Structures are given as C-alpha cells and as structure tokens.
C-alpha cells in the first residue's frame, strides 16, 4: 500500500492551507492520505507530551513554578463524584449482566438516566427509544455525526467551537459551512451571527452543530438566540446537534435554555456527559438523546465502533444528577472563584482581551500582536513556564492570536501559571 507519508506528517499550522487546497475536493474525491492529513492531533489537548522537539526561539530565563496543564481539567484538584469507586465495585460484582449490556446501554441505566435527563431538560425521553449511553461525550458526538453526515453534505458549524466538530465534518466527507460567533461584541448573548446561519441553511446545510455553553469561549446562548436557531432550523428543515456538555456549570445565576425546549424533537440530538464538572472522564461515559431514528442509527454504528461504553463503568451513571447535597453548588462556586482571579490577572495585561466565562471551565483570551506564531508561543510556554494551553487555531483557522485554558485546576497553581504565561508573553510582543 503506497502512501504519501510526508503529506500526513504535515504540521497542524499547514492543515488549514490544505483545507483550502482541498475545498472543492471534499469527501468522496479525497485520497485517504489527504483525509488523514487534515486530521491533525499533535496540538489537540492532552497530546502535547507526544510533540516532537522543536527548535524554538527561547528568550529569557525559565520561570519556576508548579506545572499546570490547562488543556483539560485536573481531576486531582476536583475529584470525581463521591462514591465513584464504591459504585464501580458494585457494578463489577453484578458480573456478566453489567459487562455485556445492549449496545445502547443497560436497560436499568437507560431508565434511570432518561428520567433524570428529562427532568433536567424538560423534554420527554423514552428510555427505550430516545437515549443511548456512549464512551464519553466524544463518543456521542462521533456517533451522532456518523449518523447524520454523508459525503458531500453541507454542515453549519460555529467558529469558534470545539475542535473535533470540524474534524468530524471532514472525516465523514462533509463540507464545512462556518458561522461566526461575535463573542466580543455582546455580554447578554453568545453573539451567533444569525444571518450567516440562515445563509448556511439557504446554501443547503441540513445540519447545524453547536456547543452551549460554547467551547472555547464559555459563553451561553440567550433564550432569544436558541428560539431563533430553532425557528430557522424548522423553516429550512435542518437537523440540530446540541452539545450541552458544560450546561450544569453556570455562573452568576445566569439563565440557560436547553435547545430541546425550543427545537423540533424529531430533528434534534443533544449530547452530554459527566466528564467535565463531575470529573468522571476516566470512566468514559456520555449520552445522547433525541430523535429515535438517529438514536437507532447511533446504536448500529456503536455496534461496529466499540460495542458499548465499558459495562462496569455504566453503573457509575446512577451517581450523575444524584450528587451529594450541595456538592455541585460548592464545585460551581469554586470554579467561579478561580475564573474571577484569572480574569483579573489577564485583564491587567495591556492588550489582552477576554470575555467573561458565563459557564464551564474555559477562557479564550485574545493576545496582543506577538512576533511568534501561536503554535510556537504555546510550545515556548511549555518549555519556559511549565504551562500547557491549547492554541486558538484548534477552534477555527482565524484564531491565530488566541488560546484556550481549562481553569478546572488547583486555584493557586492556576493563577500563578497565568501570571507566568503573561510574563513570557511580554518577551514576545511584536
């Protein structure tokens, strides 16, 4: 099997150029080498330890301090739901019935979870028809996209939004139709460009995928925005895939509107999981609920992707939405306090812009002009400050001056690390 290795080892920064070269050559016309060249992973959160050593323009001294990996939350600082290990043990002791559930999940887990998610989102969820348990929320997203996107399909996605969204569209041979979110222009709504969204639907996009709260900016779509998205999707007969992974971690008592409360129940899938606020990522659990037809497709796909979420881990779902009294409240308050301190530090630096995180654990600051690329800046930060962040370009090719941090970390270590980050930044101002 002759393959073009060089193409696949393309630097992530080059991938966006390739996107342009390949556009008009979407999906079915791409070779598998081209397809995987676009699926970069080296700058993806958590992969930094696998990056090859690069020649970097290092300036000044290395800054001492506790290393912080802002690419994902620290489950040592914020531990999984109390009782997790004991509940896993109970599941293990159930034996074969727990190990080999149907692909969509065990009947007991589905029934329990349907009730809880229905109460949470105010949507009817039939555990037998409208729900599937998946290996993490990533698993739910993959199965949903695989069930909805065919080669050549146009898919509307938000910029910025979760980095896997664009990769999934490309992997399934779809065509990206970006819709901008003007997140710096508002503080009472996400700032989705609704005209661009309508234009995407007018051009033929039959699927709109968005995260709410938004990853990476941490902003919430307003009730009006949600209603308007539902109205447009309805008018153009489009399906909506809503990623509500961070919807339980809302700050300042802001209102939050589940897309399911406004959208056509036959034309939507919502995905969610306990990996973030609840720190259960190590168990790989997630869920999708909505259209029975698409859930059925997702189960067919799960049967060939990984069979099921790890059976023993599924037993942990009983703890989700049943956390000890006050535990979630305390956890949210702790995150809000970290957010406040980090925002204050960032805003004290000249030329740094950042919108206030309204939900979830991300901030997405925009830097003043630097004389190194964001990719190099990120690598320099690791070496000079022991700080790992995710470059903005993972969330859209235009975010060459931004980076994302997940502040679900030890409070003091996180604030100190942001200070070191800014010290390094000063050395590279253009």
Interface with its own copies in residues 58-77 (CB under 8 A)? 72, 74-76
Q: Would you say 162 and 395 are in contact if contact means Cβ atoms under 8 Å apart?
A: yes
Q: Which of 1, 21, 53, 55 binds its own copies (CB under 8 A)?
A: 1
Q: Which of 112, 186, 296, 415 binds its own copies (CB under 8 A)?
A: 296
Q: Which of 92, 193, 366, 423 binds its own copies (CB under 8 A)?
A: 92
273 binding its own copies? (CB under 8 A) = no
Q: Would you say 397 and 375 are in contact if contact means Cβ atoms under 8 Å apart?
A: no
* Token pair recorded at residue 78: 């914020």
Q: Would you say 125 and 134 are in contact if contact means Cβ atoms under 8 Å apart?
A: no
d(C-alpha 370, C-alpha 55), whole Å:
18
Q: How far is the CB of 416 from its own copies (least distance, A)?
A: 18
* Token pair recorded at residue 384: 């000079």
Q: How far is the CB of 11 from its own copies (least distance, A)?
A: 14
168 binding its own copies? (CB under 8 A) = yes
> Which part of the chain contacts its own copies (CB under 8 A), choosing from 119-127, 177-185, 294-302, 387-395?
294-302
Q: How far is the CB of 170 from its own copies (least distance, A)?
A: 9
243 binding its own copies? (CB under 8 A) = no
Residue given tokens 């990769």 in the structure block: 167
51 binding its own copies? (CB under 8 A) = no
Mask for 178-217, x = binds its own copies (CB under 8 A): ----------------------------xx----------
Q: How far is the CB of 316 from its own copies (least distance, A)?
A: 10
Where do runs of H (alpha helix) occur along 95-174? 96-99, 107-121, 136-148, 163-171
164 binding its own copies? (CB under 8 A) = yes
> Which part of the chain contacts its own copies (CB under 8 A), choosing from 118-126, 188-196, 309-317, 358-366?
309-317
Interface with its own copies in residues 317-346 (CB under 8 A)? none
d(C-alpha 138, C-alpha 171), whole Å:
14
* H helix or E strand, kind and range, residue 403: strand 403-406
**Judging by DSSP bridges, how do beta strands 207-211 and 268-272 pair with one another?**
unpaired
Q: Which of 40, 191, 263, 396 binds its own copies (CB under 8 A)?
A: 40
**Judging by DSSP bridges, how do beta strands 362-363 and 286-290 pair with one another?**
unpaired
119 binding its own copies? (CB under 8 A) = no
d(C-alpha 353, C-alpha 371), whole Å:
18
171 binding its own copies? (CB under 8 A) = yes
Q: Which of 300, 366, 382, 427 binds its own copies (CB under 8 A)?
A: 300
Q: How far is the CB of 379 from its own copies (least distance, A)?
A: 17
* Token pair recorded at residue 85: 């290990």
Q: Which of 149/262 has CB closer to its own copies?
A: 149
The radius of gyration computed from the CA coordinates of the chain, to the nearest angstrom, equals 21
d(C-alpha 105, C-alpha 292), whole Å:
15
- Contacts with its own copies by CB under 8 A: the residue count is 84
DSSP 3-state helix, strand, coil percentages of the chain (rounded to 5)?
A: 45, 15, 45
> Which part of the chain contacts its own copies (CB under 8 A), choosing from 168-176, 183-191, 253-261, 321-329?
168-176
> Which part of the chain contacts its own copies (CB under 8 A), choosing from 132-140, 341-349, 364-372, 393-401?
132-140
Show the CA angle centred on residue 121, arms to residues 116 and 124, nearest 5°: 75
Q: Which of 62, 100, 115, 371 binds its own copies (CB under 8 A)?
A: 100
DSSP string, 197-239: HHHHHHTT--EEEEESS-TTT-----HHHHHHHHHHHHHHT-E
């Amino acid at each position: 099997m002759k393959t073009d290795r060089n193409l696949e080892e393309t630097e992530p920064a080059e991938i966006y150029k390739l996107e342009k070269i390949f556009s008009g050559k979407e999906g079915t016309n791409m070779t598998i080498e081209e397809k995987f060249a676009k699926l970069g992973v080296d700058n993806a959160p958590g992969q930094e330890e696998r990056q090859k050593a690069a020649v970097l323009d290092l300036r000044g001294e290395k800054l001492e301090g506790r290393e912080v990996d802002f690419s994902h939350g620290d489950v040592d600082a914020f531990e999984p739901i109390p009782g997790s290990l004991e509940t896993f043990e109970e599941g293990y002791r159930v034996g074969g019935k727990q190990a080999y559930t149907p692909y969509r999940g065990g009947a007991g887990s589905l029934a329990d979870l349907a009730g809880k998610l229905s109460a949470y989102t105010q949507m009817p969820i039939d555990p037998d028809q409208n729900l599937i348990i998946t290996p993490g929320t990533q698993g739910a997203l993959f199965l949903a996209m695989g069930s909805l996107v065919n080669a050549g399909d146009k898919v509307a996605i938000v910029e910025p939004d979760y980095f896997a969204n664009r990769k999934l569209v490309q992997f399934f041979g779809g065509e990206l139709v970006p819709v901008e979110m003007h997140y710096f222009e508002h503080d009472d709504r996400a700032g989705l460009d609704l005209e661009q969204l309508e234009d995407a639907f007018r051009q033929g996009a039959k699927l709109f995928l968005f995260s709410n709260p938004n990853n990476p900016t941490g902003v919430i779509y307003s009730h009006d925005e949600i209603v308007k998205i539902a109205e447009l999707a309805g008018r153009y007969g489009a399906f909506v895939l809503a990623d509500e992974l961070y919807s339980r971690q809302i700050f300042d008592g802001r209102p939050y509107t589940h897309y399911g409360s406004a959208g056509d129940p036959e034309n939507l899938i919502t995905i969610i999981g306990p990996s973030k606020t609840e720190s259960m990522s190590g168990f790989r659990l997630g869920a999708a609920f909505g259209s029975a037809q698409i859930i059925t497709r997702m189960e067919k796909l799960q049967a060939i992707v990984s069979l099921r979420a790890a059976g023993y881990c599924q037993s942990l779902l009983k703890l989700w939405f049943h956390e000890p009294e006050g535990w979630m409240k305390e956890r949210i308050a702790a995150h809000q306090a970290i957010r406040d301190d980090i925002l204050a530090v960032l805003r004290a630096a000249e030329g740094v812009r950042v919108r206030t995180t309204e939900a979830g654990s991300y901030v997405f600051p925009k830097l003043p002009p630097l004389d190194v690329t964001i990719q190099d800046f990120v690598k320099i930060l690791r070496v000079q400050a022991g700080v790992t962040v995710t470059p903005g370009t993972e969330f859209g090719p235009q975010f060459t001056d931004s980076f994302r941090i997940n502040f679900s970390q030890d409070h003091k270590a996180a604030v100190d690390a942001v200070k070191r980050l800014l010290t390094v930044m000063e050395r590279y101002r253009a």
